[in-house]
Chains A and B, each alone.
Chain A
Amino acid sequence: MFRFIIRRLLITIPTILVVISITWVLIKLAPGNFYSGEKRLPAAIEKSIREKYGLDKPWYQQYGKTMWNIVRHLDFGTSLRFEGQSVNTIIRRSLPVSAAIGILAYLLALIVGVTIGSIAALKQNSRWDYTSMALAMLGISVPNFVLGPILVLIFSLSLYWLPPSRWGGFPSRNLILPVLTLSAIYMAYIARLTRAGMLEVLRSDYIRTARAKGLSEKDVLIKHALRGGLMPVISYTGPALAFLLTGTVVVERIFALPGLGNYFIQASLNRDEPLIIGIVAFISITLLFMNLLVDIAYAYLDPRVRYH
């Protein structure tokens, strides 16, 4: 197990360097510059800007400098758009916002989703099952840029109960609508995954054995069935949580939240090279780390899985 973790961590580093390099190339290929605007700048000013930010150097020097600072100092440099603001500071500042909303949304999705999914599986083909699965289908189909405004329309603009947008610190009433909007699709997905997992497990031999041994139905369900039935949910949690932690572009935009996702989309539109690279690197680290956690959790939950 220990060797497995070490090996996985060692693969992670080159993976991230490759991701960064590909991102770097893609940015260089994208047309436009962070300084371009409606009126074209005089050539001399454009030249001064390129000199100031080292964009006049040959590509291998720019690439080398970027990579060296990342590898040697974990320093992603200074944002091009936001004069004097370091990428590391920007990430450190905006991560808590994204993480707070992401984790809350996922917890909510997990609790509601697993409950609904389990009930649906236990009462398969009942009215309960159909209702909850229809709702889940709806949750998956309605995108959050539709759901968000509908919630705002109802709870903020018509009823005046909740603020329609903006960050209000943690905890605050401002969190409710974005968390609901964000969790809907995950809730629905988890409900469906739980239902499918549970149905499969409930028909398996070891559940029949557990029942034959005379265990109470509660023990059978919670200790044996749920544990097996949640396996698909666990493997879904890794990437889902990684994406939620690192910011959700649409929800942060609709609710004007100062999270990573908002920065990410703006940085791409602004061609803010160091910021894009910094955020991409951060997201990929989180993603790889989450996947590792999922694999470890697998080994813990499912006795059939062993790592060498």
Chain B
Amino acid sequence: MSRINWKQLSALVLLAAMACTTLSCAVASSNEVYFGKTTPPARNILRYVTGEEPESLDPAISNGQPESRIYMALYDGLVEYDPKTLAPIPALASHWRANDDSSEFTFYLRRDGRWSNGAPIDANDFVYSFRRALSKQLASRNAYMAYLMKYAQAYNEGAVFVRDPSNGKFLLAKDFDEHLPPDPLAGSPVDAAKGEYQTTAEESQEPADSAFHQAMHTPLRLTLPGDEKARTKLLNADAKIKEAVTGKELVPVKGEDIGVEAIDKYTLRISLTLPAPFFVGMLAHQVFRIVPRQVVEKYGNQWTQPAHIVTCGPFKVKTWQAYHTLVVERDPMYWDAATVKLDEIHFYPMSDNPTIMNQYKVGEVDAVLNHTVPNAWLDVVRTKKDYMDGAEAAIEFIIMNTTKPPLNDVRVRKAFNMAIDKEAWATWRKIVKPLTAFTPSGIFHEYPQPKGDAFNPDEARRLLGEAGYPVTKNSDGSYSCPKFPANQIEYIYNTQESTKNMVEWMQAQWKQNLGITVPLRNMDWKTFLTLRAKLDYVGFARGSWGADYMDPFTFLSLFYTGGENGSGWSDPKYISLLDEANRTLDQKKRYELLAQAEAFMLQAQPIIPIHTASVNWVKKPYVKGMYPNAASLYPWKFVYIERDQAKWDVGTPSLAGGY
């Protein structure tokens, strides 16, 4: 017997063995109700895979979702996310009031808030934490989330006010910008007789006035760049400001100028630049969670080390082994410790999906992060009663470079959009919902989401022909578009299996319906981001976005730019529609205006919507109080281990009803 035969034989044997094990595994698991073992852990511990290794335990630093979930265990804010709807529920603020145009909010803090070292929490902790999160020195990537607060952006950017030394008065923004919206109530003189708050069940009196409050209630001041070069450039471009600024003194915007004030120890007032009815909903974001001043000032960037860290959430740090486990334990000092049912949460940083699913199957972890079930596993896992299905506040789309031919022609962009059968894609991908708009479907219930163009290959071919690229039908029924410069464009995306499947699917659609084969090019995430941001590509680029907060504006704001959005598209009309919407107090009317803006953007078609994502994760049936909400953020104090099998979750728990 020759060697070659031996090798072939052994290879065959191994292949057969592999096939057998895979098959037997698949068959064995398809009879079970749940995916893998369902023995609850001996102690009240939740073992949860949260995704990548956390960048830092400092809530102001990271903007990643894995970190957000950890911050929710360790830090409290004024409000917390509702475990099902993600609407704000009371946390360190027991209740709050908005003024008549939602441009100023007063929060009443609970008196039993404590840090994990036992020190009491008061309004000054919020003032400190907000100022710190916005400071230029910290350079938080999340700072923009807090820009609605008066002068927050100016402070974060290191801007300066302009003061007239002769009378001490500041120059005002409205004198130099006629497009500026009128000042809201929070920026208008205080009318003590009338008051600006409605009486609520808890509070009948107007919050106390103060000198700071009076100062906030003045028209918005003019701010100029703190950087001398940028300022000179701006002044040279605008003679009116230049003249007004000459001879005046420049006063740096300080942390103390931001519109946040401790009225007394347990009352906090926040003033905004614009009315923003959705502002309270943003306050559960990590950038608004508080950090301990004394510890931060004592240890600098080492304050989050387990030896030093002091926290204020339902859990506190016990041990932290990087890339292995972060153990947090119940904090007896926490104001709501009675609600906290878990003794510990073990956060496992893992990012390889099959590895995570294996760990889950053998029962070494109890729940995993969103988007974890690989495509190829869905057929099996989706039939199990521990699979978490549900719409996510996240969308997938294609960005087009609108600055370079041939996609600078809106007809071509529309043709490529209409040539994709999104229903068919959603069926193939099994768990996503087809999308024709730029906001996710089924998330913002009151929002009159506009519809973009539907799948219409005939119209797509007609539009291409109109744009000068006639599509002809071949004798075999296929199409070709010989004049289209397909070899000069490409479809760029980041290296990732699920993304690869998707872009290949889209490529096939265009080939099938337009006869155009768009070349694909994959690259690593950071390279991809750079090419896209610099518009250093011709054709198509992958796009995706998950909500920062529960409002359609978090999606629409991606194009609230001067074109720095990967597409090069920008339109003043779109921006003014959004501005107008955000100045509108009536929620229904505001949503209508936002929808108008969205419809306008869809008509310009800088993007091709693909789908609304699905949360797509698994949790053991004995893990209760954890719901597949649209942002995959879980207030951990409500989560517990249920040992009574009769009370286990069978199937995806409902998001309806209270928690």
Contact = CB atoms under 8 A, between A and B. Distances in A.
Interface of A: 30-33, 35-42, 44-45, 48-49, 51-52, 78, 81-85, 90, 93-94, 130-131, 133-135, 137-138, 142, 149-150, 152-154, 156-158, 160, 163-167, 253-258, 262-263, 266, 269-271
A44 B156 contact: yes
Contact of B3 (A36, A41, A133, A160): A133
A164 B527 CA distance: 33
A157 B14 contact: no
Given A158-B21, A253-B355, 13 more contacts: A30-B527, A32-B527, A44-B156, A44-B158, A130-B6, A134-B6, A156-B358, A157-B358, A164-B355, A166-B350, A258-B323, A266-B52, A269-B525
B375 interface: no
B56 A84 contact: yes
B324 A166 contact: yes
A166 B21 contact: no
The 4 closest A-B pairs by CB, nearest first: A32-B526, A84-B301, A258-B323, A31-B530
A90 B321 CA distance: 11
Given A40-B564, A93-B322, A83 B358 contact: no
B22 A37 contact: no
A254 B158 CA distance: 45
Contacts of B37: 160
Interface stretch (B133-141, B428-436, B577-585): B133-141
Given A84-B302, A134-B3, A165 B63 contact: no
B648 to A, nearest CB: 21
B16 interface: no
23 contacts: A33-B526, A36-B529, A36-B530, A36-B533, A38-B529, A38-B545, A52-B138, A81-B55, A130-B1, A130-B6, A134-B9, A135-B10, A153-B21, A156-B358, A158-B24, A163-B362, A164-B362, A166-B348, A167-B324, A258-B321, A258-B323, A263-B323, A269-B524
Nearest to B4: A134
Nearest to A133: B3
Contacts of A149: 354
B529 A37 contact: yes
A264 to B, nearest CB: 12
Point out which of A30, A39, A160 has the most chain B C-beta atoms below 10 A from its C-beta: A39
A254 B355 contact: yes
Contacts of B305: 84
B480 interface: no
Interface in B311-364: 321-324, 348, 350, 352, 354-355, 358-359, 361-362, 364
B304 interface: yes
Contacts of B24: 158
A138 B136 contact: no
A256 B21 contact: no
A142 B7 CA distance: 13
Contact of B526 (A31, A40, A42): A31
A59 B21 CA distance: 55
A166 B10 contact: no
A51 to B, nearest CB: 7
Contact of A258 (B10, B322, B362, B526): B322
A160 B531 CA distance: 46
Contacts of A84: 56, 300-302, 304-305
Interface in B250-303: 300-302
A33 B524 CA distance: 12
Contact of B25 (A81, A157, A269): A157
Interface in B141-159: 141, 143-144, 153, 156-158
Nearest to B62: A83
Contacts of B564: 40
B355 A83 contact: no
A157 B321 CA distance: 26
A269 B558 CA distance: 24
Contacts of A37: 63, 141, 529
B11 interface: yes
B565 A40 contact: yes
Point out which of B156, B321, B529, B565 has the most chain A C-beta atoms below 10 A from its C-beta: B529
A97 to B, nearest CB: 9
Given A166-B364, A256-B350, A266 B53 contact: yes
B56 A152 contact: no
Contacts of B11: 138
A269 B495 CA distance: 11
Nearest to A165: B355
A228 to B, nearest CB: 26
Contacts of B53: 82, 266
Nearest to B135: A48
Contacts of A130: 1, 3, 6
B526 A90 contact: no
B180 interface: no
A33 B61 CA distance: 16
A137 B352 CA distance: 29
A156 B495 CA distance: 29
Contacts of A38: 529, 544-545
Interface string B175-217: 0000000000000000000000000000000000000000000
B55 A82 contact: yes
Contacts of A45: 139-141, 143-144, 156
A32 B322 contact: no
Contact of B61 (A83, A131, A253, A256): A83
A152 B525 CA distance: 29
B362 A157 contact: yes
A94 to B, nearest CB: 7
Point out which of A36, A133, A256 has the most chain B C-beta atoms below 10 A from its C-beta: A256
B533 A40 contact: yes
B10 A134 contact: yes
A237 B416 CA distance: 56
B33 interface: no
A258 B324 contact: yes
Contacts of A83: 55-56, 58, 61, 301, 304
A295 B323 CA distance: 36
Contact of B358 (A39, A131, A133, A164): A164
A266 B24 CA distance: 35
B55 A163 contact: no
A42 B144 contact: yes
A135 B137 CA distance: 60
Contacts of B244: none
Contact of B359 (A39, A40, A166, A270): A166
B18 interface: yes
Given A39-B558, A163-B362, A30 B526 contact: yes
Given A166-B324, A167-B324, A256-B350, A157 B139 contact: no
A40 B570 CA distance: 15
Contact of B530 (A32, A39, A152): A32
Given A130-B3, A135-B10, A152-B358, A52 B324 contact: no
A160 to B, nearest CB: 6
Interface in B23-81: 24-25, 28, 37, 52-53, 55-56, 58, 61, 63
B359 A165 contact: yes
B111 to A, nearest CB: 33
Contacts of B300: 84
B368 to A, nearest CB: 12
Contacts of A166: 324, 348, 350, 359, 364
Nearest to A149: B354
Contact of A41 (B28, B55, B141): B141
Contacts of B352: 253-254, 256
A42 B153 CA distance: 10
Contacts of A35: 141
A253 B354 CA distance: 11
B526 A137 contact: no
